[in-house]
Structure 1
């Protein structure tokens, strides 16, 4: 395996790997930038991993509390989202990926979601999801 590019700045050759998640980085500056968002040790599985602006996104178990169980998506709704080519195509947009990543990694996800809703591309993406999961009338 040859030299690898820093997955933080995406410019310099990496000299180091994060001791936690093993993403390659080139300097202390990049390491500090990478550590702004907590990372986790990679799982040894054959699952495809998503990527973020700073490298692989690894699955982190979280506990969620839902005040209204009726707002939790059902399996068929999730499958509809996953099988929508329109939604999958929208997810190829790097800016949309960054917005989703910032919401997912935020300690104040609700605030990040509100900020994202000010971006037209995110609103259109949200509308696509809602029209996919809403019962057709």
Structure 2
């Protein structure tokens, strides 16, 4: 396969690929322009299923105020700080252990005893509270 054209500017030869959607781009300015619109990894028909599937669970929430709003969830999901933290294999294993446990609440309590998980949850709470402040200011 020969050199590919930058999919952003359509002028230069691409040197890089977007880590998310794999489109070719030629430079940092083109990458920044491309990232102005969220992208995702292309889904292949022959794609293998992920090794770890997190189960979807429904939980009864005592107070409506405990539920995160869509903007709060999006802030957590798009946070570079959270994404960087999730690169830690120990943290990912803890999260999977909690998710796969029949007694998830007990596993969560155990995980909170460790520094890495506490720091991770503190980061999430910080992002959620910042987003909550932004929403409150808009009202």
Give yes or no for the alignment of 1:70 onto 2:62.
Answer: no
Tell me the distance in 2 between the aligned counterparts of 1:86 and 1:67. 29
The corresponding residue for 2:3 is none
**1:61–1:123 distance in 2 versus 1, CA, 3 Å:** closer
The corresponding residue for 1:123 is 118
Tell me the distance in 2 between the aligned counterparts of 1:72 and 1:117. 20
> For 2:75, which of 55, 76, 80 is the aligned residue?
80
Q: What TM-score does the superposition give when structure 1 sets the normalisation length?
A: 0.57
Kindly tell me the number of residue pairs found equivalent between the two proteins: 89
The corresponding residue for 1:32 is none
Identify the structure with the greater helix proportion. 2
**1:62–1:99 distance in 2 versus 1, CA, 3 Å:** same
Tell me the distance in 2 between the aligned counterparts of 1:108 and 1:78. 24
Tell me the distance in 2 between the aligned counterparts of 1:70 and 1:134. 12
User: 1:49, 1:58 within 8 Å by CA — same for their partners in 2?
Assistant: no
Tell me the distance in 1 between the aligned counterparts of 2:82 and 2:98. 18
**1:131–1:109 distance in 2 versus 1, CA, 3 Å:** same
User: 2:97, 2:107 within 8 Å by CA — same for their partners in 1?
Assistant: yes
Tell me the distance in 1 between the aligned counterparts of 2:119 and 2:54. 26
The corresponding residue for 2:28 is none
Q: What TM-score does the superposition give when structure 2 sets the normalisation length?
A: 0.56
1:79-132 deviation digits (Å, cap 9, x = unpaired) = 110111011000000000000001111111111000000110110001000000
Q: Which runs of 5+ in 1 are unaligned?
A: 1-45
Tell me how far 1:49 sits from its aligned partner.
Answer: 8.6
